[in-house]
Amino acid sequence: MASLGSTRRTFAPWADPAAKPYIRFENVTKRFGDFTAVDDLSLTIYEREFFALLGASGCGKTTLLRMLGGFEQPTSGRIFLDGQDMKGIPPYRRPVNMMFQSYALFPHMTVEANIAFGLKQDGMPKPQIAERVGQMLKLVKLEQFAKRKPQQLSGGQRQRVALARSLAKRPKVLLLDEPLAALDKKLREETQFELVDLQYELGLTFIVVTHDQEEAMTMADRIAIMDKGKVLQVATPAEVYEAPSCRFVADFVGSINTFEGSVTKTGSAARIRDRSGTEFRVADAGEAAAGDTVWLAVRPEKLSISRERPADAANALDGEIWDIAYLGDMTVYNVKLDDGRIVKASTINSIRRLEDALTWHDRAWVSFSADAGVVLTR
């Protein structure tokens, strides 16, 4: 998968068999009564990695984070941090710190006192505490707010205080529970990059829980996509997007067209026939055997849309333009095939005004090359 886009920096310990995992979840299960929040989950995270746990609410991602923080004990399975079994170790003796979704700032303390809280617990001498608090305030650009109480700050400022407080003890691992969920869109986008820069500069391991796929893709080195207490795929953002492991992942991250069909020819020039008889040419059907039911998944931007059938297209379908979503930078066309299926195709609006623009109820062809899609077996 190395050809699928490079990661932000050449950092890929997970691809190196000699690299030692920093955090290991081994067959971890957590049940609350009858409800299984985390189901026999195994996962490894490396030092200095920015790792994202992505999933819808209730998928178990927060429970996983809370188990690492020590707030929940696994029902079964083990968690290792830097080679040490974390079983029975309370939160106040773990070398990890957490940034809470609600920020959990102490309302009766000033910004300064909030940041100093953890250092005081460690019995650090006062002059050193003052120095460290100063550094932290500078790091999050809140020097002039040191004496304020949390309720006198804006949402973005509170988020920074929470970040500074959780970083003050220089933890080995920082756990972030939906760190940006309470911020508005613009601030969120800025803060994403700030977090990445901060993590890189400080050389820490960050584990962030989020339900926002864009946030995970922007920030993380690797993403674990979770559903019903299980991890469905762990991979880089590019791999998750371009080579999803299953339909759930394909559908959860971005939008996608899936064509159900059965394999009629395997190998490097495979064919997949769907129920309406269309035969798709596929460059690689992976491990699917002839006769298997598979799903050909193609991202909307991999489809071209045109009035005439392109002569060299490996795959082409025709239909009627049913809906157009003009998003500014791009336009998404929903094309209704004659059997009623809707296919999404998006185009980048690189030209300001198109002479012969497609419009509602026009007949159009959507086409894609043999290597545009990925064949999913589940």
- HSE-CB of 116 using CA atoms within 13 angstroms: 19
Which of 107, 125, 291, 328 is in the footprint of another protein by CB under 8 A?
Answer: 107
Give CA–CA dist 210/176, Å, rounded.
9
Q: What is the dihedral of CA 222, 178, 103, 206, to 10 degrees?
A: 0
In the complex, the smallest distance separating the C-beta of residue 106 from another protein, rounded to whole angstroms, is 6
Nearer to another protein by Cβ, of 73 and 258: the residue is: 73
Q: Is 165 in the site for another protein (CB under 8 A)?
A: yes
In the complex, the smallest distance separating the C-beta of residue 147 from another protein, rounded to whole angstroms, is 18
Instruction: Evaluate whether 272 touches 294 at the Cβ level (below 8 Å).
Output: yes
The position carrying tokens 């059907």 is 285
Which of 2, 56, 147, 155 is in the footprint of another protein by CB under 8 A?
Answer: 155
Q: What is the size of the binding site for another protein (CB under 8 A)? A: 32
Give CA–CA dist 158/107, Å, rounded.
11
Q: What is the dihedral of CA 64, 68, 73, 78, to 10 degrees?
A: 90
Which of 13, 55, 60, 69 is in the footprint of another protein by CB under 8 A?
Answer: 69
Q: Is 353 in the site for another protein (CB under 8 A)?
A: no
Q: Is 35 in the site for another protein (CB under 8 A)?
A: no
Nearer to another protein by Cβ, of 171 and 237: the residue is: 171
DSSP 3-state of 240? helix
Q: Which residues pair with 222 in a beta bridge?
A: 51
Give CA–CA dist 235/242, Å, rounded.
11
Q: Is 73 in the site for another protein (CB under 8 A)?
A: no
Nearer to another protein by Cβ, of 132 and 158: the residue is: 158
Binding mask 122-151 for another protein (x = CB under 8 A): x---------------------------xx
Give CA–CA dist 253/250, Å, rounded.
6
Contact residues: another protein, CB under 8 A: 69-71, 90-93, 96-98, 100-102, 104-108, 117-118, 121-122, 150-151, 153-155, 158, 165-166, 169, 182
